[in-house]
Amino acid sequence: MFNERIYNFSAGPSMLPLPVLERAAGELKNFGGTGMSVMEMSHRSKAYQDIFDETKSLMREVLSVPDTHEIIFMQGGATGQFAAVAMNLIGRTGSADYAITGNFSGLAAKEAKKYGTVRVAADTTDIKHTRIPRQSELMLSDDASYFHYCANNTIYGTEWDYVPKAPCPVVSDMSSNILSKPVDIASHGVIYAGVQKNMAPAGMAAVIIDKSLAGHELPFTPTILSYRTAIDKNSMYNTPPTYNIYMLGLVLKWVKEMGGVHGMEELRNERASMLYDFLDNSKMFTGCAEPGSRSKMNVTFRTSSPDLDAAFVKEAASKGLVSLAGHRIVGGMRASIYNAMPVEGVKMLVDFMGEFEARNR
Ligand SMILES: Cc1ncc(COP(=O)(O)O)c(C=O)c1O
């Protein structure tokens, strides 16, 4: 039992910025003098439409989304987008290239195979996804409808430090690093993200799409997954996840106040270097990802023994440093240090790691 807020290193859903939670709490019962909660508002009401419009325009501003691209909100999380991307885009040529650099890119490729031919542009399975392929290693086809990559591998703790180039539209799953640094949106045909890490509470995907790519969906695409419909209906073909969109708006305001994506990038560099510097000097803990491919959002590490890993995770939790166990398919530890993780949280973690190491030498 904790009476205070603790440092939650969960990979998602994960920490939300405290000022956002406080503002949401203050507005919970009566939003802006409407006499009702945002949760209770009709999505067609003027009050809600204003919230929706503001969220969208803040996202456009904060992420510098060009006019060529549209922002849509869809349900089904990032997993829904594994299907949506393929159904909406693969019909252009019948095939797509996928870089398999972790669990989720593998799942995305598996889903896409239901709708067309999937070619593997890179696969790091044999090296346990510890490294991101370089541009020269990507085997790209001439006739792919799109090339798909996952910008940050939440489970393995690797992150692309460049935007891959392809002779076709580039599609990126940015679920676990969106809003943490500037991104060249124009170089992407589609960017999608499950919002539950850096954006909002779980329950939707934010999608940024080059408008010229919509309208090529396979005939059996469910209307609810059609990019064309979502664009035409401004994400309101049916009832959108109204509260998530409102929360995303509050998060975007906070990001803007904190210096936008440049401010977020400075903080992510600070948090990540604190942890990786410690790991590089530790005799007990080892980072799992290759140094040139390290994620600044999900830091994966381990000791030499699963028992010691388990003891570390347990003791850390008793100090209010929670959810540090690695994903069940890889074990070890993972510290997810998204935008809302205060630098002090990482400092406390590093101090605890040092103390744990000294005690268990
Ligand atoms: C990179 C990445 N892609 C996709 C997913 C799946 O997201 P969702 O649970 O929203 O479907 C996750 C979930 O953690 C993720 O980290």
The string of pLDDT tens digits covering residues 213-226 is 999 999 999 999 99
* Closest CA to ligand 1's atom 4: 78
Residue of 160, 176, 244 to mutate, ligand 1, most atoms within 8 A of C-beta: 176
pLDDT in tens, 238-275: 999 999 999 999 999 999 999 999 999 999 999 999 99
C-alpha distances out from residue 129 to 45, 105, 125, 293, Å? 47, 11, 5, 10
Point out the ligand 1 atom lying closest to the alpha carbon of residue 155: 16
Identity of the amino acid at 147 = F
Q: Among 14, 79, 81, 111, say which to mutate for ligand 1: greatest number of ligand atoms within 8 Å of CB.
A: 79
Contact 240, 43 (CB under 8 A): yes
Sheet of 147-150, strand order: 69-74, 205-210, 190-194, 170-173, 147-150, 95-100, 117-123
Instruction: State the span(s) of the chain assigned CATH 3.40.640.10.
Output: 21-257
pLDDT band per the 50, 70, 90 thresholds, residue 333: very high
Domain 21-257 has CATH 3.40.640.10: yes
Percent of the chain with pLDDT over 70: 100
Q: What is the pLDDT of residue 168?
A: 98
Residue 63 scores a pLDDT above 80? yes
Q: Report phi then psi at 257, rounded to 5.
A: -60, -30
31 CA to centre of ligand 1 in angstroms: 31
pLDDT at position 92, please? Answer: 93
pLDDT at 102 over 80: yes
Nearest CA to ligand 1 atom 15: 175
Q: What is the dihedral of CA 27, 30, 32, 38, to 10 degrees?
A: 70
Q: Tell me what pLDDT residue 227 has.
A: 98
* Residue 337 pLDDT: 98
Q: What is the pLDDT of residue 1?
A: 76
Structural tokens at position 152: 């940050």
pLDDT at 19 over 80: yes
Q: How far is the CA of 154 from the centre of ligand 1 (A)?
A: 8
The domain made up of 261-359 is a member of CATH 3.10.129.10: no
Residue 99 CA to residue 134 CA, distance in Å, equals 11
Rounded distance, CA 346 to CA 274, Å?
7
What was the pLDDT predicted at 229?
A: 98
Residue 2 pLDDT grade (very low, low, confident, very high; cuts 50, 70, 90): confident
Residues within 6 Å of ligand 1 by CB: 12, 77-79, 104, 150, 154, 173, 175-176, 194
Confidence of residue 3 (pLDDT cuts 50, 70, 90): confident
According to the model, what pLDDT value does residue 361 have?
A: 84
pLDDT of residue 134: 98
Nearest CA to ligand 1 atom 10: 77
How far, in Å, from the CA of 326 to the mean position of ligand 1?
15
Ligand 1: centre distance to CA 259 (Å)? 26
Q: What is the pLDDT of residue 5?
A: 94
Write down the pLDDT at residue 170: 98
pLDDT one-digit tens code per residue, 310-326:
999 999 999 999 999 99
What residues does CATH 3.90.1150.10 cover in the chain? 261-359
Q: pLDDT band at residue 342, thresholds of 50, 70 and 90?
A: very high
Closest residue to atom 7 of ligand 1, CA basis: 78
Q: How far apart are the first and last CA of the chain?
A: 30
